[in-house]
Amino acid sequence: MDEIALLSILATTPREAYNYLSSLGSIPLLACVLFALIAGFLLLFHWIEIGCRQPACSELKEKKWIILPLVLLYFFGNYLTSIFPADRFLHLYRKNGPLRAFTELQRNLPRNARILKLDRSEPFLPGSVVLVLGESACRDDMSAFSNISINTTPWEKSCRQDQCFFFYPHAYSNFPNTVMAITQALTSANQYNKKPLKDAVDIMTLAKKAGYETYWISTQGQSSISDAGITVIARQSDHQIWLKGPDEDILQSLAQIPAGKKNFIVFHLMGSHFRYDHRVPQAYVEKQHWADVDKREKALWYCRSLHYTDFVLKNIFEAAQSLPLQAMVYVSDHGEDMELTHTASPFKYDMVRIPLWIYLSPSYQQAYPQVRQQLRAHENAIFTNDLLFDTLSGILRAPSNFYCRQCDLTSPDYNITRDNALTLHGKRRIANDPRS
Ligand SMILES: [Zn+2]
């Protein structure tokens, strides 16, 4: 187990822990395992205790006896910090460790926001820009991106014929872990500029500076560890709404947003977060007339969760038209492997093959024809989602002193290619993906 896996465990919520444990076996089975562990521990304790009844050092006199336990305590304490889980835990907080980076990001964001300067103030059309962050969606299993027998994403697939949509079938995640991927996606830090998070600005601060009213609406729970990463970014927005229900509940929050203003709205979905069957409401299963299938059919329930996300995206797109909607971006944090889910070690490329599509309204395309032209020209380009900050800077028409035009899909200077594209925070090359 590496430090990123430990980070996932520390960042988990009771609901997520229950989802995971219940996928391992039935509740009676888990109870039996727990009972066996407790019984084993008590037996071991009893056995050691019997051994301790005989004094080992009877010849030590007066205060000399205290030396031995102190020496033992010192070596045992030192040893404990070098083995799992203490060693991994200390790694998280070491210099350049992920948790240290999140703490530094939180501390430095106000300072970096003061340094942030827009290159030019370009008038933006009234209306909203929407970013939907998906969860654990792998484009290999999405019919809008892959030639597969099941139509898992019917609405998105139909949008491929629409001239207002731009699809990117070679998009990748920067890291197969939610908090690690999103902190780079939504800040100016990326794998190519190697800028540490502590020197970065976030997309919510940029959008506010460009005159947008900002919203963060999430169906992912807040946790103390995620607080150090994603929630820090969410808190930079003007309005935050945290929901517990299924993803379609965000539509009620969307309906409350006043029309006619310049809004930048981020939706963070539960998407296909493990367990997949828990992501699909029963009412949706019935509406689709889907057969009652065993919850252990992981691949099938994963496809159903993608189908449900497709339905949620369609509804967001339609409901946002009244704002009016000027641009919409859908991208996943990372992909998913049916056997290993998503981990840094062992790593597989399906954990980072993600969907990305962008919508531009007809009025947006009329106002900024060069954006449409560049997005179309780059449809077959390799993209890694740590470049989202720069691409959104382009869509929001808000380049700044933290912006890199070589990382922006809307720029003619975009230069991420198969040869230089990276993932796993620079440790793997996209060129080594057999499907790239
Ligand atoms: Zn995730």
DSSP state of 285: H
C-alpha 179 – ligand 1 centre gap (Å): 7
C-alpha 92 – ligand 1 centre gap (Å): 19
216 in a structural domain: yes
The confidence score (pLDDT) of residue 395 equals 96
C-alpha 334 – ligand 1 centre gap (Å): 6
Structural domain including 197 reads 95-432
- Does residue 85 have a pLDDT over 80? no
H/E stretch holding 395: helix 388-395
C-alpha 1 – ligand 1 centre gap (Å): 18
Number of domains in the chain: 1
Instruction: Identify the band that residue 1 occupies on the pLDDT scale cut at 50, 70 and 90.
Output: low
Q: 243: closest CA among 229, 255, 253?
A: 253
Identify the sign of the CA torsion 329, 312, 296, 6. Answer: positive
CATH classification of the domain holding 235: 3.40.720.10
52 in a structural domain: no
115 in a structural domain: yes
367 in a structural domain: yes
Quick one: tokens of 123? 């008038």
Identify the sign of the CA torsion 331, 333, 334, 338. Answer: negative
196-223 tens-digit pLDDT: 999 999 999 999 999 999 999 999 877 6
163 in a structural domain: yes
Give the count of beta carbons closer than 10 Å to the beta carbon of residue 165.
18
C-alpha 333 – ligand 1 centre gap (Å): 5
Separation CA 325–CA 372 (nearest Å): 16
297-347 tens-digit pLDDT: 999 999 999 999 999 999 999 999 999 999 999 999 999 999 999 999 899
Greatest extent of the chain over all pairs of C-alpha atoms, in Å: 93
133 in a structural domain: yes
Whole-prediction pTM: 0.87
The confidence score (pLDDT) of residue 273 equals 93
C-alpha 7 – ligand 1 centre gap (Å): 12
Instruction: Give CA torsion, residues 316, 321, 323, 328, to 10 deg.
Output: 60
Each as own residue / partner, the long-range contacts of residues 255-258 (CB below 8 Å, 24 or more positions apart, any chain) are 255/319, 257/128, 257/215, 257/323
19 in a structural domain: no
C-alpha 8 – ligand 1 centre gap (Å): 10
Quick one: tokens of 135? 């969860």
C-alpha 85 – ligand 1 centre gap (Å): 23
89 in a structural domain: no
Q: 394: closest CA among 372, 377, 416, 415?
A: 372
